[in-house]
Structure formats: C-alpha cells, structure tokens
C-alpha cells in the first residue's frame, strides 16, 4: 500500500486565496517531499523537508512536518491560475531506498 | 542538459505483445525508478534500482521486468502485455546521500501505453 495519503482529494479556490493540503504517512521517514504535476506532464519537485525539520519555506510555499503525528502540510499562499495542478507528497522510509507517493490533491484555482 | 528522457512517448500494444520502455538520465544519479500512474491512484512504484547492475521490486512488480546494465539507463520490459497494464509510465532518477536518504527526484515526461 502507498506510504503517503493526501487530503483533500480535490480543492477549488479563488485566485489570491491560500490553498492547504495535508499528507499522512505510515512509517518513520528520512525526508518528505512535495511535487507538482501539471496535466499531462511529469512531476516537478517543489520542496524537501528532512525529518529533523519542522517547517520550511520556498517562495509562496510553506511546508510543515509533524513526525509525532506522521503528517505534513503544504500551504500555497496567494494562489494563481498557474498553481492549478495536482500535488503529491513523497516519502522515503527510514532504512529503505524506495520513494513512495500518495494519490495526490488536485487543486483548481479559479480566476 | 536533457535530464530524464523516456522513449517512446506513446504506444499502443495488442494483448500478448512485448515491448521495452527506455529511460535515460544524464545527471549521474545512482537511483532510478519506474512508476505507473492510473486515475485516482497516484504513482505506484513498479521497480527501482540503486545502482548499475542492481534492481529491486516495488509495490506492483508483477508483469514487468527491468534491467540497469548502464548507470544512465533503466529499461522497463513488458513480456506479455495485458489490458490492465494500460497506464502512464514515469521514470525518475535521484542522487542519494545514503541508504534511504533521497534527494529530489527528476521525472521524465511519461509514456502513455494502451493495451488493446
């Protein structure tokens, strides 16, 4: 079964609003990553947070990690139409080589 | 710098036919992965490799084989295609700081495979 699960499955917001999505995982991890996928394209890396970090920022992105709850959140501030995409979290379990993805959150930003 | 290149981009197979998908990366990455993506199911790991000459099974390996004879190439084979293997296939590669300590993965643009 997949390691990470995103919530919600889909999200629709107005341009300028913030978008928040969550990821829960099952086993201890080394890192958690977030990726974006535009329709019909490959995945693009957004941000990586290590297990000893609690929060990380990159431009309009803010990621938090709570290892005690085995969960992470991705916040996109001041959303734009170009943020319309699917967002996936990915984890590499401690002691494992595999990079496992969740089912993703589809975000639609309305103009 | 090409990154990760997948060939072909599209393919239609008849049930029972075989084919090989090629993934090539020019970033000298140790780790390479093959995923399949089906609607509503995200990416599922088929096989992966942590170095030249090594391969390992992922979540959904049945019906697929892989080889990594050269560090830059990772091949995914379907020996006898089935309609259930209709999917979009993605290859990815990454550098590693050590066992289970991945860095960002770089993805190819995908191969859309239809088995009829």
Give the range among A7-11, B20-24, B61-65 with minimum mean pLDDT. Answer: A7-11
Q: Do B106 and A45 touch (CB under 8 A)?
A: yes
Of A93, A97, A101, the CB nearest to B42: A101
On the question of pLDDT at A27 being above 90, the answer is: no
Distance of CA B72 to CAs B2, B40, B49, B55, B85, Å?
A: 12, 31, 11, 14, 25
| Residue B4 neighbours by CB under 8 Å, 6+ apart | A42, B23, B24, B25, B27, B91, B92, B93, B106, B107, B108
Note the residue count of chain A.
Answer: 111
Residue of A nearest to B90 (CA): A42
Q: Do B100 and A93 touch (CB under 8 A)?
A: yes
Write the pLDDT tens digit of every residue in A67-102.
999 999 999 999 999 999 999 999 987 777 788 998
Give the per-residue pLDDT at B54: 95
Residues A70 and A78: their CA atoms lie apart, in Å, by: 27
The candidate with the shortest Cα–Cα distance to A6, out of A108, A109, A81, A91, is A91
Write the pLDDT tens digit of every residue in B29-80.
999 999 999 987 789 999 999 999 999 999 999 999 999 999 999 999 999 9
Contacts with B41 from chain A: Cβ below 8 Å: 103
Give the per-residue pLDDT at A4: 73
Interface of A with B (CB under 8 A): 1-2, 30-31, 33, 35, 40-45, 48, 88, 90, 92-104
On the question of pLDDT at A30 being above 90, the answer is: no
Contacts with B90 from chain A: Cβ below 8 Å: 42-43
Distance of CA A18 to CAs A54, A61, B90, Å?
A: 20, 10, 30
Let me know the angle formed at the C-alpha of B25 by B19 and B26, rounded to the nearest 5 degrees. Answer: 145
The average pLDDT across B100-104 equals 74
The candidate with the shortest Cα–Cα distance to B74, out of B42, B36, B30, is B30
């Amino acid at each position: 079964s997949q390691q990470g699960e995103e919530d919600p499955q889909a999200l629709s917001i107005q341009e300028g609003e913030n978008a928040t999505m969550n990821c829960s995982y099952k086993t201890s991890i080394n890192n958690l990553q977030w990726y974006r996928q535009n329709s019909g394209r490959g995945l693009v890396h957004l941000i990586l947070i290590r297990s000893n970090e609690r929060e990380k920022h990159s431009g309009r992105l803010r990621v938090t990690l709570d290892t005690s709850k085995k969960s992470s959140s991705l916040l996109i501030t001041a959303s734009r139409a170009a943020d319309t995409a699917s967002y996936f979290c990915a984890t590499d379990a401690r002691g494992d080589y595999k990079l496992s993805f969740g089912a993703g959150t589809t975000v639609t930003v309305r103009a | 710098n090409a990154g990760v290149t997948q060939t072909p981009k599209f393919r239609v197979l008849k049930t029972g036919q075989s084919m090989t998908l090629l993934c090539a990366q020019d970033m000298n990455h140790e780790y390479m992965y093959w995923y399949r993506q089906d609607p509503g199911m995200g990416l599922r790991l088929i096989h992966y490799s942590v170095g030249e000459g090594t391969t390992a099974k992922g979540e959904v390996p049945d019906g697929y084989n892989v080889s990594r004879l050269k560090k830059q190439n990772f091949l995914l084979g379907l020996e006898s295609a089935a309609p259930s293997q209709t999917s979009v296939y993605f290859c990815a590669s990454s550098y590693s700081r050590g066992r289970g300590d991945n860095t960002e993965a770089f993805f190819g643009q995908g191969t859309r495979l239809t088995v009829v």
